[in-house]
């Protein structure tokens, strides 16, 4: 089950579960991003919106708590069968355990569906009795096992948890993984800061122009989407653009601009925005959102290391490619498809992009360096290394009122949000940003 799911005997919920298992196989074995695997498999399965949502829920919860669920299965099957012999047996068990313990689906429906999925696979069928026996134990004893687990330590790979524990301390590392295990709310940035958006059910106003929805449903059907009154953007992701200050009427270069939330922010603030991104496909998404929101920006498909503006700009924003470990709550596959090498490999690209961005910044101008990463090598260490090699730049520390809360400002005056910040309101993505001023 490494591609689109095969057809199994029709029964309510079976197609959803089959798709979820296929998605997990793609992510866990082939290291494919969850979004890509989900889009491909659900399109091939041709599910109803309700069945698609169920498949997404199973796959998403399985990955958010994958470390716990895998440890749970090993409690009952200390020596798991090898994939080349057992096919998707492990994925069937993980998905079913997620249904039983996290989604609270009745045991009879889950066990029956798992048996049907095993029966339909040429390799997993040989482990049907094992699947049946394990899931009955999970249904009876699984909740108690989960309760005894070190959830914070299990829901990230050892290499990643150890990195966080070494830098942030064990307690904060656990807070990070616990925040990642929660289903994130949907954050919107409003085109007009004073738009009350009273039609949005269950809205929470996080800050002026920032609205959070806990159970949004289909984004495209929400009030205000069609007429472009807002765009989807995590609260933390909306902060780096604020650090530029008043950009009305000013030229701003937005580097690595896609998917475009910051471009829209800057255009909405009446800046003359040049948005640069290496991917024409991703820039097309930015163009769609600009059209929907009736905002304008110049879009340029180019590698920021090769592109040069006609004249340096007073404001430059670089949201650099990174490991994206700050977005794991929205992308629960990331810990299981990435490795420590990804962080090391991203560092040289970030350094090159920062140097390119520096050349685009006018004397007296402001350069914002941002990453949606929790890793110091991609955040503060990049900023420090840049300042050490570029004598013409200096850090311009932030004030708490610029980012709504002193929690988000480091001792050096940089921005650093954590997934567990504002936990009572639903948390936020992890983001780092440094504001740098060009002196000469």
Q: Say if CB 404 and CB 301 are below 8 A apart.
A: no
The answer to whether the bond into 105 is cis (omega within 30° of 0) is no
Catalytic residue among 197, 256, 322, 372: 372
Alpha carbon distance 389, 355 (integer Å): 10
Q: Say if CB 114 and CB 89 are below 8 A apart.
A: no
Q: Say if CB 365 and CB 330 are below 8 A apart.
A: no
Output 107-112 pairs: Cβ under 8 A, ≥24 positions apart: 107/135, 107/136, 107/139, 109/13, 110/135, 110/139, 111/135, 111/136, 111/139, 112/11
- Label the pairing between strands 361-371 and 431-438: antiparallel
Number of other CB atoms surrounding residue 30 within 10 Å: 11
Strand partners, 218: none
E strand or H helix that includes residue 67: helix 66-76
| Ramachandran area for residue 331 (φ above 0: left; ψ -120 to 50: alpha; else beta) | beta
Number of other CB atoms surrounding residue 251 within 10 Å: 19
Q: Say if CB 266 and CB 281 are below 8 A apart.
A: no
| Ramachandran area for residue 233 (φ above 0: left; ψ -120 to 50: alpha; else beta) | beta
Q: Say if CB 239 and CB 408 are below 8 A apart.
A: yes
Active site residue 256: no
Token reading at 203: 């809205």
Cα-based distances in Å from 410 to 202, 336, 380, 431, 433: 32, 29, 10, 12, 10
CA angle 124–126–131, rounded 5-degree value:
65
The residues near 214 (Cβ < 8 Å, ≥ 6 apart) are 185, 202, 204, 426
Could you list the active site residues? 372
């Amino acid at each position: 089950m490494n591609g689109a799911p095969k057809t199994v005997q029709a029964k309510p919920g079976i197609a959803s579960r089959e798709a979820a298992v296929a998605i997990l196989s793609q992510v866990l074995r082939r290291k494919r991003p969850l979004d890509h695997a989900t889009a491909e498999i659900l399109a091939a399965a041709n599910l109803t919106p309700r069945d698609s949502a169920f498949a997404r829920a199973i796959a998403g919860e399985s990955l958010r708590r994958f470390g716990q669920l895998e440890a749970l299965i090993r409690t009952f099957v200390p020596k798991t069968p090898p994939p080349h012999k057992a096919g998707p047996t492990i994925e069937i068990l993980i998905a079913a355990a997620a249904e039983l313990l996290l989604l609270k689906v009745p045991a009879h429906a889950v066990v029956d569906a798992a048996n049907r999925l095993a029966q339909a696979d040429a390799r997993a069928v040989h482990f049907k009795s094992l699947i049946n026996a394990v899931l009955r134990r999970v249904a009876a004893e699984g909740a108690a096992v989960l309760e005894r687990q070190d959830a914070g330590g299990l829901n990230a790979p050892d290499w990643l948890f150890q990195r966080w524990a070494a830098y942030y301390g064990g307690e904060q590392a656990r807070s990070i993984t616990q925040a990642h295990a929660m289903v994130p709310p949907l954050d919107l940035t409003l085109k007009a800061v004073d738009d009350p958006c009273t039609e949005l059910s269950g809205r929470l106003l996080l800050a002026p122009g920032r609205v959070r929805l806990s159970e949004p449903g289909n984004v495209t059907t929400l009030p205000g989407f069609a007429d472009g009154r807002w765009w989807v953007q995590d609260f933390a992701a909306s902060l780096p653009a604020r650090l530029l200050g008043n950009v009305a009427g000013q030229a701003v270069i937005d580097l690595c601009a896609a998917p475009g939330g910051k471009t829209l922010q800057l255009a909405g603030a009446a800046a003359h925005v040049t948005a640069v991104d290496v991917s024409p496909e991703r820039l097309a998404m930015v163009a769609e959102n600009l059209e929907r929101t009736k905002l304008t920006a110049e879009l340029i498909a180019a590698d920021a290391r090769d592109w040069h503006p006609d004249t340096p700009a007073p404001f430059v924003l670089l949201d650099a490619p990174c490991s994206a470990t700050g977005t794991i709550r929205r992308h629960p596959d990331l810990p299981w498809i990435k490795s420590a090498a990804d962080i090391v490999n991203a560092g040289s690209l970030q350094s090159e992009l920062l140097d390119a961005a520096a050349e685009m910044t006018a004397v007296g101008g402001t350069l914002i360096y941002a990453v949606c990463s929790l890793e110091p090598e991609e955040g503060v260490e990049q900023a420090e290394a840049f300042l050490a090699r570029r004598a013409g730049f200096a850090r311009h520390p932030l004030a708490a009122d610029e980012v709504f809360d002193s929690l988000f400002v480091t001792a050096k005056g940089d921005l650093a949000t954590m997934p567990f910040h504002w936990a009572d309101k639903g948390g936020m993505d992890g983001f780092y940003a440094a504001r740098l001023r060009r002196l000469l």
